Amino acid sequence: MKTIPFGKTGLTVPTMAVGCMRIGGMETKKAEELIRTAIDNGANFFDHADIYGGGSCEEKFAEAINMNSTIREKMIIQSKCGIRKGRYDFSKDYILESVDGILKRLKTDYLDSLLLHRPDALVEPEEVAEAFDILNQSGKVRHFGVSNHNPYQIMLLQKYVKQPICANQLQFSITNATMVSAGINVNMENDAAVNRDGGVLDFCRLNDITIQPWSPFQYGFFGGVFLGNDKFPELNKKIDEIAEKYNVTNTTIAFAWIQRHPAKMQPITGTTNVSRLMDCIKASDITLTHEEWYEIYRSAGNILP
């Protein structure tokens, strides 16, 4: 599998991340098959969060692979914290408490990356900096990032945090492409020109922050999968046409569309199906042409001025 730089960390990581949000309810043997298939094919970057299954996803992950130091060194593990019932919490004490819980459930001594999970309106960046220093110096967390943060929120954190922000998880797919469409429609009087994120795509590129797209096959806010969906006839026709050309599935093409962007994004797949996981892995070997990328973009209803 191809690799990309992971922010300014010096790490090289696979061009995709394996999301573990849904593995909590899997049979242990099925979860093991999924994880080992990913590792065997070079997709050894696993994304967790303390709220996924209330922690059960992290527990199932560790149980499924019989976590030990040998298998641990074959993986890059990331988790997220900061979401609590009815609120977000980036306080120093809560971050430290959350990481201890994550490490216990994953049966590991360290995380390769910890992300702050959605912005906390009451964030005190000085406290975040203290927490990050303690976690970094103790060896519990090696690198740090964020999720769904805009440029100014990242800049505010970075003013106090010593460690570079390495990643930003953002919703992005063919049908949720506002990060791209706002740039294409600059200075136009249409909805696509609305800048909803402060130019976060270009900001992350300028500052070597790896964008990790979540819900790469979803439309709306978890409205459903657009692949094979009657709501998107033109899009599916175009994807199927290109998939046939490359002799791959529509899943592979939808994933390759994201990876074709020069920002070197690392999309996160949330599948628990081994066959679909392999379809995502195959996308690393496909580079869509300039024309194909735009054809898919327009077939989803995205406009060019």
pLDDT band at 221 (very low <50, low <70, confident <90, very high): confident
Q: Which CATH architecture has domain 3-230+261-286?
A: Alpha-Beta Barrel (3.20)
* pLDDT value at 88 more than 90: yes
Across 188-208, average pLDDT: 96
Q: What is the pLDDT of residue 131?
A: 98
Cβ atoms of 128 and 116 within 8 Å: the answer is yes
pTM: 0.97
What residue spans define the domains of the chain?
3-230+261-286
CA-nearest of 108, 32, 21, 109 to 63 is 32
139 vs 103, 104, 132, 135, 143, CA distance in Å?
12, 14, 11, 6, 10
Torsion angle of C-alpha atoms 234, 237, 243, 246, degrees rounded to 10: -100
* pLDDT value at 223 more than 90: no
Q: What is the pLDDT of residue 276?
A: 98
* pLDDT value at 195 more than 90: yes
For 130-156, write each residue's pLDDT tens digit: 999 999 999 999 999 999 999 999 999
Q: What is the pLDDT of residue 49?
A: 98
* pLDDT value at 162 more than 90: yes
For 245-292, write each residue's pLDDT tens digit: 999 999 999 999 999 999 999 999 999 999 999 999 999 999 999 999
Across 10-23, average pLDDT: 97
Tell me the average pLDDT of the chain: 97
Neighbours of 153 (CB within 10 A): 19
Cα–Cα dist 97/91, whole Å: 10
pLDDT band at 222 (very low <50, low <70, confident <90, very high): confident
For 25-82, write each residue's pLDDT tens digit: 999 999 999 999 999 999 999 999 999 999 999 999 999 999 999 999 999 999 999 9
**DSSP state, residue 269:** E
Q: What is the pLDDT of residue 301?
A: 96
